[in-house]
């Protein structure tokens, strides 16, 4: 039987690494909470001032350690340290904002990203330019300040804005890809693409209905302009 000798020094180093990793993840958790608060303030203000809630739901998540390690490998980051990971992996903290209509998606994006303390790092507008599989969403990597006892820190958070129909599609597509381990039969890929078209049509129809019901004439309704992609 093989015996492994674990020295006290090795135990101490492992503990230090664990503590540093927990501190590292906490920074992202704080950044995520700042963004959640900003979204929740926008929602409450909208509700009071316009008697209208543009947000259906908000979901947040921190990437798991396994998922961070998988992304480090996928991106080919050699000899990763915390600074490298901070620089290269910008979606450790993620907030997903699901809105009722496409116009609300862009409105929320504008209201959040124009705030003085927010810096926009990148924007990917997959609503204006959907992915080939039909995926739609508006993604932004923003930096939000977090004030720690050691001083201020700028934390990147990925915010995804989408409609309920886009969210429904993306969650089903994710499950299908997971079930088939990324080797989805072609007839299902086609069906997913058709479903993405149907979801877009439903979004457009529901928004028209909503606007007509609220007395906004069609000709006053400009299509939302795609947000500029910055990389
Ligand atoms: P999870 O579980 O949400 O964390 P990058 O981060 O820029 O290196 P990428 O893929 O170019 O990597 O970023 P992009 O295009 O902004 O997409 C990142 C996230 O968007 C994904 O996160 C998904 O949440 C979502 N997403 C992107 N494309 C698709 C898609 O085709 N289908 C579905 N269902 N979701 C998508 P993660 O890290 O993959 O997963």
| pLDDT, position 12 | 87
- How far apart, in whole angstroms, are the C-alpha atoms of residue 227 and residue 206? 22
CB of residue 158 inside a 6 A radius of ligand 1:
no
Q: List helix spans (H) across the chain.
A: 8-50, 65-74, 82-88, 102-113, 164-179, 186-213
CB of residue 91 inside a 6 A radius of ligand 1:
yes
Instruction: State the sign of the Cα–Cα–Cα–Cα dihedral 7, 15, 82, 182.
Output: positive
- pLDDT tens digits for range 192-227: 999 999 999 999 999 999 988 887 655 444 556 777
| pLDDT, position 229 | 57
| pLDDT, position 118 | 97
Tell how far CA 178 is from the center of its chain. Answer: 19
Averaged pLDDT score across all residues of the chain: 91
| pLDDT, position 227 | 72
- pLDDT tens digits for range 18-64: 888 899 999 999 999 999 999 999 999 999 998 888 999 999 999 99
| pLDDT, position 50 | 86
Between the alpha carbon of residue 196 and those of residues 87, 97, 185, 226, the distances in Å are 33, 19, 17, 19
Residue 161 forms beta bridges with which residues? Answer: 97, 138
Tell the residue nearest (CA) to atom 6 of ligand 1: 91
More confident residue, 168 or 6: 168
**Is 117's pLDDT higher than 70?**
yes
| 110-126 mean pLDDT | 97
| pLDDT, position 52 | 87
Between 75-79, 106-110, 115-119, 141-145, the lowest mean confidence (pLDDT) is in 75-79
Tell the residue nearest (CA) to atom 15 of ligand 1: 124
More confident residue, 177 or 167: 167
CB of residue 131 inside a 6 A radius of ligand 1:
yes
More confident residue, 228 or 57: 57
Tell the residue nearest (CA) to atom 35 of ligand 1: 170
The model's pTM is 0.89
| pLDDT, position 166 | 98
| 145-168 mean pLDDT | 96
Domain residue ranges of the chain, discontinuous segments joined by +: 2-220
**Is 78's pLDDT higher than 90?**
no
Cβ(68)–Cβ(89) below 8 Å: yes
Of residues 203, 136, 137, 98, the one with CA closest to residue 211: 203
Residues designated catalytic:
158
Mutate to test the pocket of ligand 1, among 132, 170, 172, 177 (most ligand atoms within 8 A of CB): 170
Which helix or strand (DSSP H or E) is residue 62 part of? Answer: strand 55-62
Cα(50) to ligand 1 centroid in Å equals 33
For the domain bounded by 2-220, which CATH number is listed? 3.30.460.10
Of residues 87, 89, 148, 143, the one with CA closest to residue 115: 143
């Amino acid at each position: 039987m093989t015996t492994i000798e674990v020295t006290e020094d090795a135990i101490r180093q492992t503990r230090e690494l664990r503590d540093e990793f927990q501190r590292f993840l906490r920074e992202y958790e704080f950044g995520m909470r700042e963004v959640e608060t900003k979204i929740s303030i926008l929602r409450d203000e909208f509700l009071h001032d316009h008697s209208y809630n543009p947000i259906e739901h908000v979901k947040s998540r921190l990437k798991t350690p396994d998922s961070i390690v998988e992304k480090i490998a996928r991106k080919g980051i050699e000899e990763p340290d915390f600074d490298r990971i901070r620089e290269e992996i910008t979606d450790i903290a993620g907030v997903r904002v699901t809105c009722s209509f496409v116009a609300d998606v862009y409105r929320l994006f504008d209201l959040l990203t124009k705030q003085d303390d927010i810096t926009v790092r990148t924007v990917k507008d997959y609503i204006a330019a959907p992915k080939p599989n039909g995926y739609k969403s508006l993604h932004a990597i923003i930096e939000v300040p977090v004030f720690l006892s050691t001083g201020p820190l700028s934390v990147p958070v990925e915010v995804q804005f989408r409609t309920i129909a886009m969210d429904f599609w993306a969650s089903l597509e994710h499950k299908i890809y997971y079930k088939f381990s990324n080797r989805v039969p072609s007839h299902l890929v086609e069906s997913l693409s058709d479903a993405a078209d149907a979801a877009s049509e439903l979004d457009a129809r529901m928004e028209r209905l909503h606007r007509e019901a609220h007395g906004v004439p069609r000709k006053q309704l400009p299509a939302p302009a795609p947000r500029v992609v910055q990389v």
